[in-house]
Amino acid sequence: MKNHLPGVFSVSHLYSAILRGDVSCLAKAITLSESEKPTDQKKAGALLTQLLPHTGQSIRLGITGSPGVGKSTFIDAFGKYATSLGKKVAVLAVDPSSEKTKGSILGDKTRMEELSRDALAFIRPTASRHTLGGVAEKTREAILLCEAAGYEIIIVETVGVGQSETAVHNMVDFFLLLQLAGAGDELQGIKKGIMEMADGVVITKADGDNEKRARQAQVQFQHALHLFQLPESGWRPRVLTASATQKKGIADVWKMIEEFWKTTSSSGFFEEHRRQQQLIWFRQNTETLMRAKMLGSKKIIQQMKTLEQKIKEGKIIPSVAAQKIIQSL
């Protein structure tokens, strides 16, 4: 993303506006953090540093599930329920990217019709671009900015299960897996890793003729979860059913999340988990910047091309070639 903000939007202006809950300036600040322009990155860093004392007062939810499970419809219903309780809700809906424009292509905001019109809600569709795991590169920054603007529930909607679900798990407090019943063996194709990371599972579209199948799937999933070792959080994941279109089971999902927060806060896990996530964020960014700096060196690029040719010719093995690159840094 090469575009950047006009100079009129100074750090001090954005800082004051975000603390007032100015939605327009919040969107501009997120755009600023996503920009690859060095001057914008410097501004974004300064802004986030100033806002840091005003962050952290939210529940961060990661919601994932296979395409067709109804993530956007569920979030629309869940978000409306939360705003009916007076909660401010921010949704960071991460779309898969267009290979040509690098922009988002699903348009989640248009599929959250009710929530998008709610004054207590903020929806930000963001392209995942080249980032794995169904999350955008600057999702963590966006979370902090939304918290500073007073949003109490931050929802990160991912592209879907498949690549690096730990990316989502490492930036949220509660990881919710949505699953659709009535599509054959409900447990088929669900990775053990995803199940182990899930703090809760919701069987969606539990209405009409599908309600009975949803109840059956609920039993299957709950049994599967009990086979896993009790998570470090001390929280035993639960399986619920819900119908977003009929607004059934939505209140139960919120109640489950509240109970999770109370359980993990009293044990000290909640805050410790967030501290560990900060360290993971630091390490990942350090690796990313080191890689970018290395690949920005003409000397390194030339050395890599030479070594790649030797690898193709069978004169050197890849691991030894990589060591030579590191030694020349």
pLDDT value at residue 96: 53
CATH 1.20.5.170 residue spans of the chain: 1-54
197, 175 Cβ separation under 8 angstroms: yes
- Delimiting residues of CATH 3.40.50.300 domain(s) in the chain: 55-266
pLDDT in tens, 81-95: 999 999 999 999 875
Cβ pair 192, 167 in contact under 8 A: no
Q: Which fold has domain 1-54?
A: 1.20.5
pLDDT, tens digit, for every residue of 47-75? 999 999 999 999 999 998 888 889 999 99
Distance of alpha carbon 144 from alpha carbon 140, whole angstroms: 7
Quickly name the fold that domain 55-266 has.
Rossmann fold (3.40.50)
Q: Which two tokens stand for residue 208?
A: 């009409």
Helix axes 11-19, 23-34, angle to 10 degrees: 130
Query: pLDDT tens digit string along 197-215?
Result: 899 999 999 999 999 999 9
pTM given for the model: 0.86
